[in-house]
Every structure is written in C-alpha cells, then in structure tokens.
Chains A and B, each alone.
Chain A
Amino acid sequence: MRSTSKDTRPVNLDIGTISLPVTAYASITHRVTGVVMFFASFLMLWALDMSLASEASFNNVAAILGSPLARFISWGIASVLTYHALAGIKHLIMDAGVGETMRGGVIGARIVFTLAIGAAAIWGVLIWRLQ
C-alpha cells in the first residue's frame, strides 16, 4: 500500500458523478450507521451506568428517558442499530454463498432497506407507548 501512496496517476472514480446501485447505498449506510453507533455507545453506557448506580439514579434516568427528546434519540439509536444489524446479517448470509451475484446483492439490499424501515416504524410505536 505504501508504494502506491506517492502514485500521481489521476483517480477517475469520482463517486459524486456516477449513478450508484442500491448495493452501494446499502454499503455506505452500513458504514455510516457503524460510525453513529460508536458515538451512540457513549450515550448507552451513560444510561447503563445511571440505571445501575442506585434506585434513585434508576428513577432519574427513567424520567430523563421519558422526555420527548430522549425518546426521539432512543428511537434513532434503535433504528440505526437495527439497520446495521440487518446489513450485517445480510453479510453473513452472503458469506454462506447465498445471493453473491449482482442480482442477489440488489435483492438483498432492498430487503435490508425494507425491513429496516419497517423496524424503525415498529420501534417508533414501541418507544412512544413505553411507560
């Protein structure tokens, strides 16, 4: 890799100018949701810490998580994590040799997006109705 870093040949693959297949959007979304989860982990650890510290602290964090903003953030984290997990499961299925063709990849990506949108809607209902 190091030997190519001083390569001065032009790079012609300008992603902004080409029409990407749905598989590319699924891949980029998998990466973006992964980076989001790295930051969301901090919030989840904070909530876990607070919830286990004492009963008063548990009730405090429960009250905070009941607010509309916290519900929205919780819904966002749950939806992002669900997308990331579904895209990961798709990878495992493809590792097993299923859906490795371009057509299989497109179908897999569409299934992941559809299930993730459905899951986000279900998370919305569940989190809104909680407590």
Chain B
Amino acid sequence: MATSIISLRRTGLSDWLIQRASALVLLTYFILIACQLLGSVDYISWRGLFDQTWMKIFTLLAALSLAAHAWIGLWSVTTDYLTERLLGPKGKSIRLLCQIGTSSALIGYVIWIIVIVWR
C-alpha cells in the first residue's frame, strides 16, 4: 500500500492522497488571502505581497493544487452522473467532451496564474 500511494501510476489511493494534500494547500492559501482582503488592503501592500518570492511560489503551488483537486473532483462527478445510464447512448461522448473541457480550463487557469504572478 505504501508504495502504491507514491507511485506515478494513478490509482484511487493516490487520488485520495492528492485530494487531501491539495485541499490543505488551498485552505491555507484562501485563509491567507481572506485575512489580507478583510484588512485595509491598498495597491501598494497587495502588489508588495505578490512581489515576494515565497508568495509567488505559494501562489503557483495553490494553482497546481487547484488544478489537481478540481480535476479529481470533476472526474468523479462526471463519471458518476454523465453516464450512458442517465444520458443514453451519447453519455460517453458527452462525458468525454466535458472532461476535455474541464481539463483544458484547468490547464488554462494554471497558465493564467503563472502569467499574473510573473508578469
């Protein structure tokens, strides 16, 4: 079990671990952002925060966590509800289209975040 959880081959067990690790990164990141926004934030302090190297790396880590977390979640949701049983013979095509759409959007999100932070 211990070897399969860290192996490169994707398994349900590795999904389970990635989902929880990424959740903790995102939770920490959103708490930090919420604390900033609820304080008196102006452009200088906001820009200053994102100019720090640790914040750039944390933001990139949050972006990658978002992509992994959302992909595992949306893969689960699409394979559960967009099925041949619920949608008929076109179920498989609709599911694949939605999965291509969501994965493309998530890759786009990561690229967008990299552009925002390193502009």
A: which residues have CB within 8 A of B? 5, 11, 31, 34-35, 37-38, 41-42, 45, 48-49, 51-53, 55, 58-59, 78, 81, 85, 88-89, 91-92, 95, 126, 130
Contacts and interface: CB of A to CB of B under 8 A. Distances in A.
B5 interface: no
Interface of B: 20, 23, 27, 30, 34, 38, 43, 46-47, 50, 66, 70, 73-74, 77, 84-85, 102, 105, 109, 112-113, 116-117, 119
Q: DSSP class of B's interface residues: helix, strand, loop or mixed? A: helix
Contact of A85 (B27, B84, B109): B27
18 contacts: A31-B77, A35-B73, A35-B77, A38-B74, A38-B105, A41-B109, A45-B112, A49-B112, A49-B116, A52-B50, A52-B119, A53-B119, A58-B43, A58-B47, A85-B27, A88-B27, A92-B20, A95-B20
Given A41-B109, A49-B116, A85-B27, A59 B66 contact: no
Contacts of A95: 20
Contacts of B70: 34, 37-38, 41
A52 B116 contact: yes
A130 B74 contact: no
